[in-house]
Amino acid sequence: MTTQRLNLDIATATPAPIGATDWIPAGVRMQYAAGEEIYAQEEEADLVYQVARGAVRTTRLTSDGRRHIGDFYYPGDLFGVEAGPEHRYSAEALGDCEIIAVKRTALKHYGADGERLERMIWSATAEHLVRTQDHLMLLGRRTACEKVARFLLDIAERFGGEITTLPMGRQDIGDYLGLTIETVSRMLTQLQGDGLVEFRTCRQFRVLRRAALARLAES
Amino acid sequence: MTTQRLNLDIATATPAPIGATDWIPAGVRMQYAAGEEIYAQEEEADLVYQVARGAVRTTRLTSDGRRHIGDFYYPGDLFGVEAGPEHRYSAEALGDCEIIAVKRTALKHYGADGERLERMIWSATAEHLVRTQDHLMLLGRRTACEKVARFLLDIAERFGGEITTLPMGRQDIGDYLGLTIETVSRMLTQLQGDGLVEFRTCRQFRVLRRAALARLAES
DNA sequence: CGTTTCTTTGAATCCGGTCAAGGTCCGTGG
DNA sequence: CCACGGACCTTGACCGGATTCAAAGAAACG
């Protein structure tokens, strides 16, 4: 029975890197400018999104005005999949970007492609939970230095190249790690001073001593 | 097609209180003593569990020995459902407790009951993600006082009675909130001093000024 | 009752936040 | 081309909240 089949897929799905190599089979292609809102918190969640080009952040505001960033999404990543009927975070373009969107309730019309997309959606959700749990540990009992080290390592591994370009500013990093921009800035300076990373500009860096950085991040 | 049907259920499932009123339709009933391990981190995850009596915590150890508590589970709650093939947290009994376990891969033999259980599992997973996201915000940018206030309010609402008995010790609370036991203790003393709660023993408390407590927790 | 474990309290320290100032980058317009 | 303005980033000084270290007190257990 298909229900079980889907579920076995769920249970045995390898937590693939969030950058799925798969592209969603159909949907509308949309352009967003830097800072533009893709969907709002508490909006009805009937679309599923995939980053085609650029980067996206999901944010949430507390009643007292503090901002929290749920995650960052890069090309290939699915986002906007919610457990309930409405979005719990809003999503905004980090820079100019291109997004593919698909109506989730229309999947049944796509046949085999629809089923494949269903699996991609589940896989993304599972990976999302894993990332959220890991992030919990990071926020819970880590020093500012460890948080920033882990962040740089994560993003460097995500893009893989020699030089990594940060698509987000210091404020976003702070809201993601539960730190102020000043502390983020200080830690970056410190990591650079210790020779673990090197910044060419405030948006571009190279990892110099990966092992030392990883030791900080993993401790 | 059943795949879509399941998915619609997923999309529209109301984030029910983690205490499902449903009991899983079949399985083995097991007894655990205080502190006993139900499953271990990195163990293969082929069983799904439900608390029948007592309470359970899921924990994780970092390489440097710090402990993190994923969540607490109470009667009716499902736990042990993982996104990947193995458990990312270990689970231990908080006190003497009774657990029902079901082999997930055997669900197909249960017919309608199996399908119902599948929905319960998905619902629990979705609720789990929501709780984890909420917990992220709590750990990210909250003061110790706000964290403890929210914790007390949550657990009081979970049990609903006039007097709430904490099934866990201060160390567990600290590892859940990302605080030291000393800080937890101090905040409890302070909240009691401010007349928001009253402790009869270190495990039993009453909420005296719910609105004030909620204001602290929600801010 | 004595021992062990858990909890509370106190004092000192330190990390990160807050406030404030200065610096850099970049686009716009003189 | 340079001047100006604004957004973003860095740095410094100070402060406060949470941790750490230490010890006393309370509860659980045999």
Cross-chain residue pair A132–B130, CB shorter than 8 Å: no
DSSP labels, B16-43: --SS-S---SS-EEEEE-TT-EEE-TTS
Cβ <8 Å between B130 and A84 = yes
Give the residue with greater pLDDT, A9 vs A129: A129
Alpha-carbon distances, residue B162 vs A151, B197, B208, B214, B216 (angstroms): 44, 11, 10, 16, 20
What percent of chain B is modeled with pLDDT above 90? 70
Å separating the CA of residue A202 from the C1' of nucleotide C26: 14
Residue of A nearest to B144 (CA): A140
**In this predicted structure, what is the pLDDT of residue B106?**
83
For A20-42, the pLDDT digits (tens) are 478 988 789 999 999 999 999 99
Band (B3; pLDDT cuts 50, 70, 90): very low
Q: Is the pLDDT confidence value at A145 over 60?
A: yes
Q: What residues approach strand D to within 7 A at the CB? A: A 169-171, 181-182, 184-186, 188-189, 199, 202-203; B 143-145, 178-180, 182-183, 186, 201-203
Please provide the average confidence, as pLDDT, over all residues in chain A: 88
The tens digit of pLDDT for each residue in A164-196 reads: 999 999 999 999 999 999 999 999 999 999 999
Amino acid letter, residue B200: R
Q: What is the pLDDT of residues B205-216, one digit of tens each?
A: 999 999 999 999
User: What does the pLDDT average to over A109-132?
Assistant: 86
pLDDT at A108 over 70: yes
Task: Using the structure, give the distance in angstroms from the CA atom of B164 to the C1' atom of D4, rounded to a whole number.
Answer: 64
Which chain B residues have a beta carbon less than 8 Å from that of A62?
A: 137, 141, 219
pLDDT at A99 over 90: yes
Cβ(B95)–Cβ(B55) below 8 Å:
yes
Calpha distance A138→A144 (Å, rounded): 10
Asked if A67 and A59 count as a contact pair (C-beta separation under 8 A), the reply is yes
User: How far, in Å, is the CA of B186 from the C1' of nucleotide C11?
Assistant: 14
Of B208, B150, B205, give the one whose Cα is nearest residue B178. B150
Q: Indicate whether A5 pLDDT > 60.
A: no
Per DSSP, which regions of B33-165 are E strands?
37-39, 47-53, 56-61, 67-73, 78-79, 90-93, 97-103, 163-165
Per DSSP, the three-state class of B65 is: coil
Mean pLDDT, chain B, whole residue set: 88
Lowest mean pLDDT among A12-16, B29-33, B147-151: A12-16
The C-alpha of B151 sits at a distance from chain A's nearest C-alpha, in angstroms, of 15
Q: Tokens at residue A119, please?
A: 């699996």
Mean pLDDT value of segment A48-75: 93
Distance CA A109, CA A90 (A): 28
Query: Which of A153-157, B49-53, B92-96, B116-120 is the least confident region?
Result: B116-120
